[in-house]
Amino acid sequence: MLLGVSLVSSIIVGVIGFMSGRESLKAAAIDQLTTIRELRTGELERVMEGVQTGVALDSRNLSAQTASKAFNAGWAELQDVELTAEEEAELQEFYDEGFIPRLEEATGEDFASGGFVPDSSAGRYLQLHYTAPFDGDYDAAHAVMDAGDGSAWSAARARFHDYFQRIVAASDYEDVLLLDTSGNVVYSAYGGVDLGTNVLDGPYENSLLAGAYRDAIASNTVNTAITTDYERYQPSLGVPSLWIVSPVGNDTTITGALAYQIPMSIVNDALTGDERWKEQGLGDTGEIFVVGRDRLMRSISRMLVEHPDDYVTAVTSNGTPPNVAERIVEVGGTVLLQPIDSISVERALEGATGTNESIGYTGTDGITAYTPVEIDGVDWVAVARIDTSEAFAPVDVFTRNLVISTLAILLAVSLLSMVLAQVFTRPVRRLSDAVRRVAGGDLSVQVPAGSRDEFGDLGNAFNDMSSSLRIKQELIDEQRDENERLLHTLMPETVAKRYRDGEETIAEVHQDVSVIFAELVGFDDYAATLDDEEELAQLNTLMRSFDEAAERAGVEKVRTLRNGYLASSGLIVPRVDNVRRAVDFAVELRSVISRFNAQHEASLELRAGVSSGSVTSGLVGRTSLAYDLWGDAVNLAYRVRGVTGSPGIYVSQAVKDRMLEGARIVSAGTIETASGDETVWRVE
């Protein structure tokens, strides 16, 4: 109690100071984070607006217009050129042995070999001369000015390719495409597999590039610049690509469209300040990233850049699927991979701007500042965050000083409290020791309950509980033994153990097992003279006699049917004489039926089949379990049983070959098996 009073007094003083300091520091950290968010988001918006404006300007300058017309004319001329069979095979080989294996390795998906080859003659011609020869070496393809084939298209490339090379070099674009008004890609700076395809009905008709092309052409103005979100672009081996598309032409005529493939570095550099997070005031853990409507990142993660070895563990602890996290580390990027499902993203996607505290995608607590991003064509939000531990580090210093100042006061009171605690906790320790013994299985334990206070009442209650648990445990043990006996009547002990262990699919393959399929002939006619109770009693009498015969012969019963009996020899206990035992058991069943007929004036007969080979045993069903046997040997035993339709004991060729000499057997017919006709033998 003394300790409690001292603690409460110190805690009240500490909490007041702690909360005051925390709120001040929190406000300062949030203000700084908000400022950084506005700066970086504004920088991204300005950069993207500049790129959009640049694409629109490039698409209507004279060089682009002239190039578009020249490439369109060259394309039209190539439409009349047919490739030879050898050239078609060479182009198909490029896809089958080059591009498609690289695409499947990069994406982990399977692709059809014929789905990428352009349909048009011009497209196949251009890929044969400007794509296939370089087999994925895009820098080498980019450096070629003229394939030397003498075509008008190659002449246009020799004239204008340098112009587009300088555009790519100046802005570090991933690719530059020219498309005609029919959707054909008539030029690619890097000679990718999209060269010569049609974005309206070709292999990439469902891409965001195709949608942006449609919107750009439909706008009918060269001032339009349509921006797409990131997509996994197959010609770039599934690397996320962002496109800006603008019509090519002037105020009177549009001859096509110009498409720039924007590198991810433009977005990343604008947000990260060229990966100089600390210099921007984000400390060791702060960052700013953008997220799309699908809740996936559109920029690089700071942790992935600085601590790739810890990335998988960090993000998977907060719900990112392990295969996604490993893929992120493998490709070295988070765009369209890292999910961000936080309240900050949700609010920003709703159009809100604000701050909050939440758990980040790396699993750490942090403060965040969020806002929508104003870029035409994309639906992104920006989130700036920093770990709470770093943002509020000064609070830890303040808290440490406060704790040290109160320790001296608490020390003296604590010593006195420890002495008093011994007096109060002695009965509790006795109860604690008794509880541990009960937990260890000793249900006979009792504790002294001599005092007449609350501890005495607790001791009496514990003793009553211990006695009750002991009685209940005895009842449970009895019920468990009964259940165990019942389970062993339904299935072998080994199967029962696997069932108790929780296995859902239980099946075992057994080699060299003899199977007996016995059928009662005439029981239905005999049962017609009996009432239901008598019929069941007579059938039980027969089945018990069958069970006793199986036990004497060392045969395992599998299951009982109304007019039949399925058993095996060598299934549970492997036996070298399983064939002899199986045949002896069938003979014994015939004797059992004969005795039954004599006792009850019946005329029942036995029709049995014996086979040997591989079988499978296991549990069948889900809500109503049954132990069963199946396989070739079971099927064969069933089939040889009915080879003539007459009563008797019939064995397969495999059984006959292993029977002892001197047994009286005769041929009973043949049956057709997978390996041919097989003779069936009858045991006399």
Q: Which of 203, 228, 262 delimits the end of a domain?
A: 262
Does residue 490 carry a pLDDT above 60? no
Strands (E), 346-412: 354-359, 365-372, 380-387
pLDDT (average), residues 152-181: 94
Nearest Cα to Cα of residue 271 among 288, 285, 286, 295: 288
Q: Identify whether residues 188 and 149 lie together within a single domain.
A: yes
- Where does the pLDDT of residue 1 fall: very low under 50, low under 70, confident under 90, or very high at 90 and above? low
d(C-alpha 347, C-alpha 359), whole Å? 15
**By mean pLDDT, which of 105-114, 431-440, 620-629 is the weakest?**
620-629
Q: Do residues 308 and 182 share a domain?
A: no
pLDDT above 70 as % of the chain: 93
DSSP-assigned letters across all residues of 280-340: GTTTTT-EEEEEETTSBBSS--HHHHH-HHHHHHHHHTTT--HHHHHHHHHHT--TTTSB-
Cα three-residue angle 170-274-320, rounded to 5 degrees: 115
Residue 463: the pLDDT is 74
Query: 636 with 664, same domain?
Result: yes
Same domain, yes or no, for 636 and 502?
yes
Q: What is the pLDDT of residue 470?
A: 77
Contact status, residue 44 vs residue 265, Cβ threshold 8 Å: no
The radius of gyration of the chain from alpha carbons, rounded to an integer in Å, stands at 42
Centre a 10 Å sphere on the Cβ of residue 161 and count the other Cβ atoms it contains: 19
Please answer whether residues 517 and 638 qualify as being in contact, where contact means their C-beta atoms are separated by less than 8 angstroms.
Answer: yes
Alpha carbon distance 193, 203 (integer Å) = 10
Same domain, 77 and 109: yes
Give dist(CA 450, CA 456) in Å, integer: 6
Q: How far is 128 from 122, CA to CA, in rounded Å?
A: 10
The pLDDT-based confidence of 41 (bands split at 50, 70, 90) is very high
**Contact predicate 383/344, CB 8 Å:** yes
pLDDT value for 659:
83
Contact predicate 617/495, CB 8 Å: yes
DSSP H/E element including 558: strand 556-560
CB atoms within 10 A of CB 259: 28
Contact 197, 118 (CB under 8 A): yes
Length of the chain: 684
Mean pLDDT value across residues 342-361: 93
Residue 37 in any domain: the answer is: yes
Three-class SS of residue 28? helix
Specify the pLDDT at position 562. Answer: 65
Task: Find the distance separating the first CA and the last CA of the chain, reported in whole Å.
Answer: 97
Distance separating alpha carbons of residues 239 and 217, to the nearest angstrom: 26
pLDDT in tens, 368-392: 999 999 999 999 999 999 998 888 7
pLDDT of res. 485: 66
Q: What's the total number of domains in the chain?
A: 3
Residues 586 and 639 in one domain: yes
pLDDT at 487 over 80: no
Q: Which two tokens stand for residue 305?
A: 């850049």
Query: Hunting for tokens 């292993």 — which residue is that?
Result: 658
DSSP 529: T
SS3 label, residue 247? strand
Q: What is the mean pLDDT of the chain?
A: 87
Q: Which residues contact 333 (CB under 8 A, 6 or more apart)?
A: 240, 264, 300, 304
Q: In the prediction, which pLDDT does 205 show?
A: 93
- CA-CA distances (angstroms) from residue 467 to 309, 431, 464? 56, 15, 5
CA neighbours closer than 13 Å in the CB half-sphere of residue 207: 27
CA angle 634, 640, 643 (to 5 degrees): 150
Phi, psi dihedrals of residue 479, rounded to the nearest 5°: -65, -40
pTM, 2 dp: 0.58
Strand pairing report for 380-387 and 354-359: unpaired
Please, is 351 exposed, middle or buried when counting C-beta atoms within 10 Å of its C-beta (0-12, 13-18, 19+)?
A: exposed
What the block records as the tokens of 426 is: 């002695």
Mean pLDDT throughout 261-273?
Answer: 92
| In the predicted structure, residue 579 carries a pLDDT above the cut 60 | yes
Is residue 133 a contact partner of residue 144, using CB atoms and an 8 Å limit?
A: no
3-state helix, strand, coil in the chain (%, to 5): 50, 20, 30
- Residue type at 488 in one-letter notation: H
Pairing state between β 556-560 and 564-569? antiparallel
What's the pLDDT tens digit per position in 16-25? 766 776 677 7
Angle between helices 62-78 and 152-171 (to 10 degrees): 140
pLDDT at 577 over 80: yes
Q: CA dihedral in degrees (406, 407, 409, 412; nearest 10)?
A: 170
Q: Which two tokens stand for residue 443?
A: 């249900």
Whether 404 maps to a domain, the answer reads no
Does residue 86 fall inside a structural domain? Answer: yes
256 and 271 co-located in one domain: no
- Tell me if 107 sits within 8 A of 232, measured CB to CB: yes
Contacts of residues 395-401 at CB distance under 8 Å and 24 or more positions apart, as own/partner, are 395/18, 395/21, 395/22, 395/25, 398/17, 398/18, 398/21, 399/14, 399/18
**Domain-embedded: residue 625:** yes
* pLDDT for position 277: 92
- Which residues, in sequence order, are CB contacts of 15 under 8 Å at separation 6+? none
- Do 277 and 253 belong together in one domain? no
Q: What would the two tokens of residue 258 be?
A: 């110009």
DSSP class of residue 604?
Answer: -
Do 227 and 308 fall into the same domain? no
| Residue 298 counted as domain residue | yes
Which domain, by its residues, includes 70? 60-262
Domain end among 210, 244, 262: 262
Q: Has residue 482 been placed in a domain? A: no
Summarize the confidence of residues 569-592 as an average pLDDT. 89
Long-range contacts, stretch 300-308, CB < 8 angstroms, 24+ apart: 300/264, 300/268, 300/271, 300/272, 300/333, 300/334, 300/335, 301/328, 301/334, 301/338, 301/361, 302/272, 302/275, 302/277, 303/362, 304/328, 304/329, 304/332, 304/333, 304/334, 305/275, 308/332
Domain edge (last residue) among 233, 262, 291: 262
Tell me the average pLDDT across 408-421: 74
- Nearest Cα to Cα of residue 639 among 655, 628, 653, 650: 650
Smallest Cα–Cα separation from 647: which of 525, 521, 543, 527?
Answer: 521
Q: Any idea what DSSP says for residue 234?
A: G
- Any idea what the CATH number is for the domain that residue 317 is in? 3.30.450.20
- Does the structure show a pLDDT above 90 at 306? yes
367 shares a domain with 257 = no
- The answer to whether 244 touches 52, Cβ cutoff 8 Å, is yes
Residue 296 has pLDDT above 80, yes or no: yes
Same domain, 216 and 284: no
Is there a domain that residue 81 lies in?
yes
CATH number at residue 649: 3.30.70.1230
- Residue 598 inside a domain? The answer is yes
What is the sign of the dihedral through the CA atoms of 330, 334, 335 and 338?
positive
pLDDT score of 251 more than 70: yes
CB distance 332 to 304 below 8 Å: yes
Task: Let me know: does 173 contact 54? Beta carbons within 8 Å.
Answer: no
Answer yes or no: do 201 and 350 share one domain: no
- pLDDT at residue 469, as a whole number: 77
What is the C-alpha separation between 592 and 603, in angstroms, rounded?
13
